[in-house]
Amino acid sequence: MVKICCIGAGYVGGPTMAVIALKCPSIEVVVVDIWEPRIAAWNSDQLPIYEPGLYDVVKECRGRNLFFSKDVEKHVAEADIVFVSVNTPTKTQGLGAGKAADLTYWESAARTIADVSKSDKIVVEKSTVPVKTAEAIEKILTHNSKGIKFQILSNPEFLAEGTAIEDLFQPDRVLIGGRETPEGQKAIQALKSVYAHWVPEDRILTTNLWSAELSKLAANAFLAQRISSVNAMSALCEATGADVAEVSYAVGKDSRIGPKFLNASVGFGGFCFPKDILNLVYICECNGLPEVAEYWKQVIKINDYQKSRFVNRVVSSMFNTVSQKKIAILGFAFKKDTGDTRETPAIDVCQGLLGDKALLSIYDPQVQKEHIQRDLIMKKFDWDHPLHLQPKSASSAVEQVTVTSDAYEATKEAHGVCILTEWDEFKTLDYKKIYDNMQKPAFVFDGRNVVNADKLREIGFIVYSIGKPLDAWLKDMPAIA
Ligand code: NAD
Ligand code: UGA
């Protein structure tokens, strides 16, 4: 029986290994982590992450050929293939702070592998890493190897949160990069045979190590660039009276462009797009390519512009002040169907409104109160270090913020409602009831274009929808970006 161990039981390690265990009953898969409460949660009925379909997969294999353990050393030592799926956040201090990837967690995982291994192993980079990380990891492993042979492969993950299980069941592609030596090619084949249990062969791509590492950063940069492109258009649509949904539809009908990932929004968030693009910018700068770095930096700049443009629109519409006004925030996660809030645009929008002294009442179906309070007082990028995240005591909570357990309570007596996550339930709320319980004039600022603006206007709301023709009210109160 082949044994797989995965270091890192997070959003990638957990679901990816659960699907490998489900599809490959002959392989024993153990997911290990140094964060004990996370492992305990994986072994319980309350999994540590919310992902549609995940619980069913875990329930089917846990205890059969899928295990979660805090005993990192034992399971790494026993494994034939070791996946490393630890966090690779943006550095917050030192050289490259604010841009470069922090490889502390990766290096510590590599040193553990070197220390405890007693047999040859294939080590698989699952985390998203800068190009040439495999070379550094190889050096750590070979300099500490005591004669044991390691083959390094790059196998970046392309799943998206909220659709992780679907993405893993039917991936567009699985990418495996390895050394062009006979041993490297043999390792590629070994990993390929794992995925071949359920992924058609023509979807398993093999490349050299550096192409695989760079393809992951490139794919995220291209995807984020599409969103920044449509968001830049959304500002122009508002200025000209065009409708961004109609423009996106017309543009996406071109088969060379395609319809996906063209939804205008309050900005992209998530653990990966912001950090991976910053990392790409840093790599370009380090390789003496300032023009290329500048090009990708614009994707982030437009994203920041989109968030501040939204805040400005809220404040300017409400007579240029939200001081002491209750504003309801519907949705805090960075997208629907996840409880993940890392780099969510809601943090920047809420902080912007709090800066103008608003009183926020926040509701998200999957994000807990302590979590929201913690995110609002944390420094940028600190939330990418999950082990250091402790819920803050009530005394350190932001006084102007309350968190509610439903949308009606959040909106009661509010002056305005900001929709920041596209949760399905926000489409079907009783907006008449909400309107009746709000202060007047009552505003809705739809950062995800989920509500039917015309229907809301009939009820009496003043509505702002990203990239859509503006109400007369909003035209009279232009936002200064
Ligand atoms: P995560 O923060 O949810 O999980 C990482 C886990 O690694 C944590 O639980 C942490 O305790 C553990 N860890 C860190 N150092 C360790 C060590 N030395 N030994 C054992 N455990 C250790 O991160 P994630 O969202 O799963 O992302 C992991 C990697 O995958 C990142 O590089 C990310 O860019 C990439 N990625 C993420 C996604 C996504 O949707 N989240 C998708 C594709 C790729
Ligand atoms: C993204 C990629 O889609 C995955 O392929 C990749 O593996 C992953 O990053 C990663 O490397 O971590 P994820 O961040 O989970 O996945 O979610 P996306 O669906 O890509 O959404 C990212 C952000 O863009 C969200 O805030 C979402 O609301 C926003 N978005 C997405 C838009 O604003 N408009 C769109 O049309 C699509």
Phi, psi angle pair for 303, to nearest 5°: -65, -40
Q: Tell me if 430 is assigned to a ligand binding site.
A: no
Residue owning the nearest CA to atom 30 of ligand 2: 268
Q: Is the pLDDT of residue 45 over 80?
A: yes
Distance 335 CA to ligand 2 centre (A): 8
Q: Are 188 and 208 a contacting pair, CB within 8 Å? A: no
Preceding amide of 441 cis, omega within 30: yes
Q: In the structure encoding, which two tokens stand for residue 221, read together?
A: 């940069």
Q: Which of 31, 125, 272, 341 to mutate to test the pocket of ligand 1 (most atoms within 8 A of CB)?
A: 272
428 HSE (CA, 13 A, CB side): 3
Does the C-beta of 271 come closer than 6 Å to ligand 1? yes
**Chain-wide mean pLDDT for the chain?**
94
Distance 381 CA to ligand 1 centre (A): 14
Does the C-beta of 104 come closer than 6 Å to ligand 1? no
- Residue range 86-96: average pLDDT? 90
Does the C-beta of 75 come closer than 6 Å to ligand 1? no
Using the structure block, give the residue that is written with the tokens 């929201």. Answer: 372
Distance 258 CA to ligand 1 centre (A): 31
pLDDT for the residue 221 = 98
- Residue range 42-56: average pLDDT? 96
Residue owning the nearest CA to atom 24 of ligand 2: 268
Q: Is the pLDDT of residue 466 over 70?
A: yes
Q: Tell me if 13 is assigned to a ligand binding site.
A: yes
Q: Is the pLDDT of residue 481 over 90?
A: no
Instruction: Tell me the pLDDT tens digit for each residue of 197-214.
Output: 999 999 999 999 999 999
Sign (positive/negative) of CA torsion 247, 248, 249, 254?
positive
pLDDT for the residue 392 = 47
Does the C-beta of 398 come closer than 6 Å to ligand 1? no
Does the C-beta of 273 come closer than 6 Å to ligand 2? yes
Task: Enter the pTM of the model.
Answer: 0.95
Q: Is the pLDDT of residue 393 over 50?
A: no
Instruction: Give the residue among 270, 254, 262 at the shortest CA–CA distance from 237.
Output: 262
237 is catalytic: no
Percent of the chain with pLDDT over 90: 88
Does the C-beta of 220 come closer than 6 Å to ligand 2? yes
Closest ligand 2 atom to residue 161 Cα is 15
476, burial (CB in 10 Å: exposed 0-12, middle 13-18, buried 19+): exposed
